[in-house]
Amino acid sequence: MSTLVHHEVDGGIATITLDSPHNRNALSIRLLGELYAALEAAIAAEDVRVIVLTGTGPVFCSGADLKEQAPGRGAPHDAPVTASFPEIMSLIWESPKPVVCRLNGTARAGGLGLVAACDFAIAPDTATFAFSEVRLGVVPAMISVTVLRRVEARAAAEYFLTGEVFDAARAAEIGLLTRAVPAGELDATVARYADMLLRGGPEALAITKQLVRTVPGLPVEEGMRRMAELSAQRFTSAEGQEGMRAFMEKRPAAWIPEGAGQAERAR
């Protein structure tokens, strides 16, 4: 039986690829199980600094596998439930390593939950998107947890309620995407982001991911106090000390893989 998710590591970057083009990379039970295992492996691997999530074919992810949802159908007997969709979105969201979504094409419904869970999302400008759940008589329940943390409230109401298809430029405008680029620039753009991320301290990146989410919800006085303490800790940390020494000595920091930063320097 063919593998539905591929996982490879090169130069500190783990690329995880959804490879189920026959059903537009739908979130079948088998695919979810393999995706969870690949993500866990990438997060645990010491040689992985950045994770790139992508797919094969013209569609990144079409959402739930509706054949498995149909009455009396269910999942194949050889596909035990090993991971749920909420567990996978949480794993991506909480990953201490940055996750870049390289959309190979269109995304719908549940696929947009994956997009929103990632720290960065870059798509070709020809891709289209839709929260199509209401047109099937269901709701975008699980994906709302990540999507509503990315997308503007008015836009979320518009597209959640109407199910209307919208383009990549609009997706970037409302916060669903980081960038929409010409298809010929997709790989170079993803590589540039990955290179920039490789240059950040692993501990600093993990902590900064949390700051982006938690600081806006703190009262100002508490935020100032807690961030002053954190700042002092990081300046005296081993990673912080190494980073400052590397800067003064005009050399790459010890955590930067050999060759990292080439895409950024080439601009």
What are the per-10-residue average pLDDT scores of the chain (267 residues)?
A: 94 97 96 98 97 98 90 54 91 98 98 98 98 97 97 98 98 98 98 97 97 95 97 98 98 90 58
Measured CA to CA, the distance from residue 257 to residue 216 in angstroms comes to 33
CB atoms within 10 A of CB 93: 17
Instruction: Check residue 266 and report its DSSP letter.
Output: T
The SS3 call for residue 129 is strand
Cα distances (angstroms) measured from residue 49 to each of 13, 55, 144, 199, 213: 6, 20, 28, 10, 20
Structure tokens given for 98: 């940055």
Structure tokens given for 190: 């993803």
Report the amino acid identity of residue 32: L
Residue that has been written with the tokens 């040689």 in this structure: 47
For residues 36 and 84, is the Cβ–Cβ distance under 8 A?
Answer: no
Measured CA to CA, the distance from residue 152 to residue 98 in angstroms comes to 22
Q: What is the pTM of this model?
A: 0.93
Structure tokens given for 198: 């490789």
Measured CA to CA, the distance from residue 9 to residue 42 in angstroms comes to 8
pLDDT score recorded for residue 77? 47
Cα distances (angstroms) measured from residue 234 to each of 17, 37, 96, 115, 201: 35, 32, 16, 31, 11
What are the residue numbers of the active site? 133
Superfamily, domain 5-196: 2-enoyl-CoA Hydratase; Chain A, domain 1 (3.90.226.10)
Contacts of 101 (CB under 8 A, 6+ apart): 52, 53, 54, 60, 114, 115, 118, 120, 121, 122
Structure tokens given for 9: 């590591």
The SS3 call for residue 116 is helix
